[in-house]
Each structure stands twice: as structure tokens, then as C-alpha cells.
Chains A and B, each alone.
Chain A
């Protein structure tokens, strides 16, 4: 509820400034020109299933988004962005989901460091892999990969920490980053020592292979002591991934001709204590998105998850058709065939994705 209070205060402040007239100045001389850019993203979701066993149909595992049939608010996201001063800017992202308000991201970024170095401090989506840094409304499909559902609970992994990025002076894009996080995620980290942290390192490289085409390669590591360790002997969780991406945007028809092909391999290992089993999870997915008309695109994805101790792999094949009437609305229909060790079923998801407020810049 405290996030609700924060939102109410923000909105009330904005309204008070807005009522101060066209000049934008209040009686105290405060200008609303300095208000943060505010946007709201809404995701409404309808879901249904066929071929699923009764038991599976009644209760989905935590984080398996869309396992309950029916219609609901999938997520409402509120974003506030502004420069704090000439040296720093701040971003806050709050969400309303499953009847609760929460903080997804709250960070301060440096803007003045030279030599291509940037710093970020606060609560952030860990920049691990292709999907994790994306908010729900930015995801290429309605739900995250099977690996993300199993390891991160279907949500992005969000941690508090300090991150540094460096773009060396090369003639192609290459970025190195490193970060130290608090390691609060109970399933992955939460080491026994007070100062047990999680450590992240990664890179992104991108080459222009034609005027409209790029190839991107990225990799990342995230690791830290987990709760299975003791003061005498730490046990670590290790996560690694590699992403290969080809994207082509027609230079003359960017609104109606886009091809995006992504493949990602994901790995997670949780070292275990004496009485526990070591857990290893491997995931891989590949998807292709084709925008073939100004308002339409189609997507296909194959997704697999291998878990130590499971009798068989979990696999999923998804198809999506999206109708995009404007830059600010998308209606997406996704159907998936899901094959788990326990069950096979078909999933139908219909999502309305919309934004109001400040015009956001679009990620590549």
C-alpha cells in the first residue's frame, strides 16, 4: 500500500501544478515544466486452455503466467523519468499486478562521466540475457521463456546494486558492464553472511551488416552465494547466458518491413548443501518476428527447458499474431502448445497493450 501512497502523492502534485495555469508557474514559483515525464502502460489479458488435465487446470505454479483461465489486468506500469541535476537522472517504475502495488525499478544514472563510462545505482532489472531487462509490455511474447519462468518465477529478476558500463572507442558498438548487487533473491542468492553479494559481468556487441541489418552478440554472468551455504563453506548460484540476434529494418519502410530473429541459451546452477540436491537448469529458445504490414506482425517461438531431476524436458511452441493500430496500442493473440513431463495442453492468450502519457523512446 505504501507504493499506492507514493503514486497518489506524485499524481496529486502533478495535478496541482497542472492547475496552475498555462504559464506553468505556481504562486510559489514552482514550474511544472520540471515535472518528470510520466507514462502508464496497461496490459489486459484474456487466457484459456484446452487439453489440460483437471488438476493442472485448477492451480498453476507460481509465476506461470496465464495458467488461470479468464480475463484480468495483467499489469499496470507507471514510469517517472527526469533529470535530477546536470549530473544525474532518475527513473522510477511502479507496477500494479495481482491486486498489489510494487516497485520494479528505482535508479539514478550518471550522465556526465566521460570516456564512455556510465554508472547506475538503485533497484534495477538485472541486465542478464535478452528478456530480463525488458518490462512486461516490452516482451516479444505475452509470457517470458520457460527458463525465466522456472528460475525467476515468470518475472524479471530485480536487484538493488551498483552497475558500471563502458563503451570503448571502437568503430563498432561494444559495451562491457559489471555490477554488484545485494543478492536478495531468496531462491538464487540470500547467502548466509551479511555481506554476501551477487556479481554480474556481461557484454553486448553489435555490427551493421547492411544498411538495415545488424547482428548482435551478447553474453552475461551472474553469481553469488546462496542460502545453502554456511559461514564455513559458501555455496554459490551461477547463471550464464549467450544471445545471438539478427535484426533487419527496411531503411525505406521501417513501419511495415521488420525481421527480428533471436536465439538465447540460458544456464543456471545452484550449488547445494549436504542434504540437498544440486540443481541445474538449462534453457534455450529461438524466435522470429516479421512485421509485414504497417499494422500487423507475426511471431513464432520454440522454447525448451531441461531441469536436473525432471523425467523429461519441458517444451513449448508459440505463434503470435499482432494488430497494432497505432504506436500506442497493440492487440496480440498468442497460442502455444506446451509439453511438460506431466501434461500437454494448448494455451490461448489475448493481450491488449496500451500506453498513455509521455511518448517513450523505443528500444532497438
Chain B
């Protein structure tokens, strides 16, 4: 009688537990990536053997993500935490990593994967670093995923991490990485040729986030609207910038989709520079959900903006 009673009441409970814990039995390797760029690299290398969860979607500003406790749920189940690093996620990742209490992804463990390790980092501050300079990143500019050549190295980092936690998938990961790298190596020269006519052209950017892209394409950022990172610009700086842009005939004012563009539209009108608002990460727009499509879009948009500027 008691057994029957208990069974009747426990079965629904067991069923509910099975439903809520269903995601726990999905892929071979569960990867949590802090940004959509990192996620995209792991998805390409891991293929169907991995389940990738992205915290900062492509249309979100990864500097300012909120440390939602629900992210802890994702990290709690993760085999790998892959992050951009260089203090991009410093305002939120430490809290959720601590809250997850998942030793597989703690610092020093095989599942703890900073993606910047093999890369040449730009703008590492020399000498004293102070907050008087704004919200500077003392380890260098963290927006390295905007150079497609860096994705080649990131793919190697991803493959090494996946092999560490899932050695059986090694040959699959090697094959996926090779295919991804080949595709990038084929496309990069095409993209470079497309923008070659505009090498050395000046550009003004809103935030210091396009350096890797501009460095790759040999375009020259002459100044920034946000002259101190993370700090809204003063009217005096904007006025001075407006004068310089007119004097130098800057053709493009470059910003990203997560920046308010009201002020930039006014600056564009006053200077004649074309306001180009680009997605700053894979997945910022629905059709740009993988790296090759994303970089192709950036190149097309830049080329069109320069062509517009030349014809004016």
C-alpha cells in the first residue's frame, strides 16, 4: 500500500526531474563561450560533437554584460569555458565563474581556455596605466577577433582544448579545424584585394574596437569619438574632431551596432563623413552567424562606403 502510494506520487516527480534535466544529456562536450566570436570558432572546430552556449550574443556589448545568475546554470554544466580574455569580461565573468563552482573550468584546469594566448596583441600599454586614460585594458586591446587571421590561431587553441577534454574526438576536431582554416586562408586574400585600393585611407571610429580590422586592412584610424575608452566624449573633443575630420576629408565614421548613433549621425551630417554602423561580432545580425559570412559582410560594407565616398 505504502509502495503504491509512494510510486504514484514519486513518478510525476521523477518525470519532472527528467524533463528539467534533459539538457544535461546532450553533446559529448559542453562549451560555454563568453562571446559569439569565440563560440563560432568552437562550433566550427567542434562540429556536432559539441554543444556551444554563447553568453554575450553578437549584438550585445561584451564589456557590459550583466552577471545574471542564469549564466551560472550554463557554466555549472560546462566542460569548457572559452573566453576572449584581456579583461574584456572582467566586469561579469569572475562572479559567474565563482558561482558555478565547477572545477573543470576553473583557472589552471583543462577546461579553462583563454583564447588570446597565441595571438599578437595590439596596444599593450607601455609605462604607467591610469584610469585618467579611461577604461583602458592593461593587457592590450581585447577586440582581436576582428582580424580573420587571428581566427586561424584561435581554431588551434580550440582544437587543443577540445582534444584535452575529449581525446576520442581528436581526428574529427583536426579535420574540422583544417577545413575551417582552409576556408579562411582562401577568403582572406580575396577580402584584402577588395579593400586594397583604399589602403592608407583615414577613418574615425567611435570606440577603440576596430584596430585589428583596420590594422589588417591597412586603414588608418586617425582619431576616436570616444577619445578615452568607456567615457562619453566631451563637447569640446567632438568639436575639435569635427574640425579635423573636415580638414582631412575623412570619408568614414565607423561605429558598431550596440552604440547609440544619435550623436554620430549629427557628426556625420556636419563633416560629410559616411556613418558606417557595422556589426562588431559574429551573430550580430541573423544572417551573419558564422565567421566567413561575417567578414565578407564587413569587407563589402567598407568597400561600398569607400566607393560612395570616392564618387561624392
Contacts and interface: CB of A to CB of B under 8 A. Distances in A.
Interface of A: 83, 86, 109, 111-114, 116-118, 165, 167, 169-173, 175, 204, 206-208, 214, 216, 249, 251-256, 294-295, 325-328, 356, 359-364
Given A171-B23, A252-B258, A214 B70 contact: yes
Interface residues of B, number: 45
B61 interface: yes
Nearest to A207: B70
B279 to A, nearest CB: 12
16 contacts: A111-B98, A111-B101, A112-B103, A116-B100, A171-B22, A171-B23, A172-B73, A206-B70, A252-B258, A254-B66, A326-B131, A326-B230, A326-B231, A327-B91, A364-B69, A364-B95
Given A173-B73, A294-B260, A361 B57 contact: no
Contacts of B134: 326
B20 A170 contact: yes
Interface in B153-210: none
A295 B135 contact: no
A216 B69 CA distance: 10
Contact of B59 (A171, A207, A251): A251
Contacts of B94: 361
Contacts of B257: 252
Nearest to A356: B131
B232 to A, nearest CB: 6
A359 B70 contact: no
A204 B23 CA distance: 22
B135 A172 contact: no
A361 B101 contact: no
A361 B70 contact: no
A77 B77 CA distance: 35
Contacts of B90: 359, 361
Interface in B76-92: 76-77, 87, 90-92
Contact of A294 (B77, B98, B107, B232): B232
A208 B74 CA distance: 13
A167 B99 contact: yes
B216 interface: no
Given A252-B257, A361-B94, A326 B135 contact: yes
Contacts of B260: 253, 256, 294
Contact of B72 (A173, A214, A325, A327): A173
Given A116-B101, A254-B65, A169 B232 contact: no
B268 interface: no
B231 A173 contact: no
B119 interface: no
A33 to B, nearest CB: 13
A249 B66 contact: yes
Contacts of A294: 232, 260
A219 to B, nearest CB: 15
Main secondary structure of the interface of A (DSSP, over half): loop
B59 to A, nearest CB: 6
Given A111-B103, A172-B70, A254-B66, 12 more contacts: A114-B102, A116-B102, A167-B73, A171-B22, A173-B72, A206-B68, A208-B70, A214-B69, A254-B65, A326-B230, A361-B92, A362-B67
Main secondary structure of the interface of B (DSSP, over half): loop
A254 B64 contact: yes
B293 interface: no
Contacts of A252: 59-60, 257-258
Contacts of B61: 254-255
B108 interface: yes
Interface string B15-29: 000001111100000
B93 interface: yes
B106 interface: yes
A352 B94 CA distance: 26
A350 to B, nearest CB: 22
B262 to A, nearest CB: 11
Contacts of B231: 325-326
B60 to A, nearest CB: 5
Interface string B230-264: 11100000000000000000000000011010000
Given A113-B101, A214-B68, A361-B92, A171 B106 contact: no
Nearest to A258: B66
Contact of A208 (B57, B68, B258): B68
B18 to A, nearest CB: 11
A94 to B, nearest CB: 21
Given A206-B70, A208-B68, A116 B92 contact: no
A356 B132 CA distance: 11
Contacts of A361: 67, 90-95
Closest 10 CB pairs of A and B: A173-B69, A361-B94, A254-B64, A361-B95, A118-B101, A206-B69, A364-B67, A171-B20, A173-B70, A208-B70
**Most B CB within 10 A of own CB, among A117, A173, A208:** A173
Nearest to B61: A254
B21 A170 contact: yes
Contacts of A171: 20-23, 73
Contacts of B99: 167
A362 to B, nearest CB: 5
B20 A251 contact: no
A111 B60 CA distance: 30
Nearest to B94: A361
Contacts of B59: 251-252
B252 to A, nearest CB: 22
Contact of A362 (B22, B60, B87, B91): B91
Contact of B230 (A167, A175, A327, A360): A327
Contacts of B93: 361
**Most B CB within 10 A of own CB, among A83, A111, A328, A360:** A111
Contacts of A173: 69-70, 72-73
A117 B100 CA distance: 9
Nearest to A114: B103
